[in-house]
Amino acid sequence: MSEPVLAWSDQLAIGQSVMDDTHREFVEQLNRVGEAEDSAMLAAIDDFIAHTETHFGQEEQWMDAIEFPPRGCHRDEHERILETVRVVRTRVAAGDFRLGRTLAEALAEWFPQHALSMDAVLGLYMTQIDYKPPPAA
């Protein structure tokens, strides 16, 4: 069994419990992509895309609800990531499984800095204005 591409640690937690739960799940799904056998990789990427659409959509909904000032920038980064994942998905569907693993490694580098900057600032702002996110749909 290969090493996870990203290990969850409390250093990745930003102290906003709904977001931290989603982020823990993100790390799990990402590791499934990184560790998938060729035959299971496409399904792992599809699960990862489904999670990520919900995860990003949830944050975007909160940002809209509170009219979070830097939301355009945060949303753009989400879109750029999802776009990349969708492109890789088509390449994996054509048999390029190595690219699926490379994607997982690249996202393992990207995620901590996103969580600890854009997501952390959003979480802090939500706490400051006492915004309680609605339960996940």
Per-residue contact string for residues 21-60; x = within reach of Fe ion by CB under 5 A: --------------------------------------x-
Select 19 or 88, whichever has its Cβ closest to Fe ion. Answer: 19
Q: Return the C-alpha torsion angle 40, 44, 46, 49, nearest 10.
A: -160
Q: Which two tokens stand for residue 84?
A: 């990349």
Per-residue contact string for residues 74-93; x = within reach of Fe ion by CB under 5 A: --------------------
Select 38 or 53, whichever has its Cβ closest to Fe ion. Answer: 53
Indicate if the alpha-carbon torsion angle 70, 72, 75, 81 is positive or negative.
negative
CB of 124 to Fe ion, least distance (A): 13
CA distances from 76 to 24, 26, 70, 95, 110 (A): 22, 19, 10, 29, 14
SS3 53: helix
Q: Which two tokens stand for residue 64?
A: 């809209």
Helix 120-128 crosses helix 38-65 at what angle (to 10 degrees)?
A: 30
Whose CB is nearest to Fe ion? 119
Is residue 20 within the footprint of Fe ion (CB under 5 A)?
no
Select 74 or 89, whichever has its Cβ closest to Fe ion. Answer: 74
Select 107 or 119, whichever has its Cβ closest to Fe ion. Answer: 119
Candidates 39-47, 60-68, 93-101, 118-126; binding stretch for Fe ion (CB under 5 A): 118-126
Q: Footprint of Fe ion on this chain (CB under 5 A)?
A: 59, 119
